[in-house]
Structure 1
């Protein structure tokens, strides 16, 4: 069975790396809670510009593929192996949620879109962006469901 799109990268990342990425985001949110609205605004702008795992993989893969094509056409046809390997890795990532470069990117701290969004929405909640929205449901079952959804 194919992994869920939203969780496939985390499922294929070592638990210690996932924990570090989550801890670092939580630490940033805690620091920014004390730093005030201007710091939160700056961090939200940084998050808007942050590249997630998908974008990083796509940019690196296309760069390597283009380099392989150019080298294959101008230096030696053996270089055409490079775009083939890159395409295979991209297909593997699309299907399984894992490819060899992903492990390196995750260790470097490159986050998934969901991980970036989790930090973004925590900061927006701190800033008060959701004050006008309806409050959490009042029934005990609805409260538990709402709390579980908030934990990701």
Structure 2
């Protein structure tokens, strides 16, 4: 028996609609092309923004942690039935870790939240643009 576990770098994209992936890819390419005639300082400022951009993994982990904390607090203070929320959030997070999908993924992707690979693609393209500017090969 083999488990069908997608590669970490592609698992979210595999569970995102083709249309959404294309839109995110187009937005990323548009971001890159908008810096074609910009100074190295402006490009560096964008790279620094990208270093602070939250990828989908970070957003999901934060969301799941908040739900687990909320469910636990409510379980101890209101009713033990609230502990179910913590279990569900943990289950979804485990499913995401293995398969790359959980209920918030399609929503977050439609909102334009990118994977770390997508963010890094833009950063690397901008770094190359800066190198070319410094060498005068624009």
TM-score when normalising by structure 1: 0.82
Whole-angstrom distance in 1 between the partners of 2:42 and 2:21? 25
Q: Does 1:80 align with 2:61?
A: no
- 1:10 alignment partner, SS class: helix
Bigger mean CA offset, 28-37 vs 117-126 = 28-37
Q: 1:30 — aligned with what?
A: 33
Q: 1:19 Cα deviation (Å)?
A: 0.6
In structure 2, the partner of 1:71 is: 74
- Segments of structure 2 that go 5 or more residues without pairing to the other structure are none
After the TM superposition, which parts of structure 1 deviate over 4 Å for at least 4 consecutive aligned residues? none
Gaps (5+ residues) in structure 1? 133-152
State yes or no: 1:61 paired with 2:40: no
* TM-score where L is the length of structure 2: 0.90
Work out the number of aligned pairs and report it: 132
| 1:42 corresponds to 2:45 | yes
Q: Provide the aligned C-alpha RMSD in A.
A: 1.7
Larger RCO, structures 1/2 (Cα 8 Å, 6+ apart): 2
Alpha-carbon offset, residue 128 of structure 1? 0.5
Match of 1:145 in 2: none
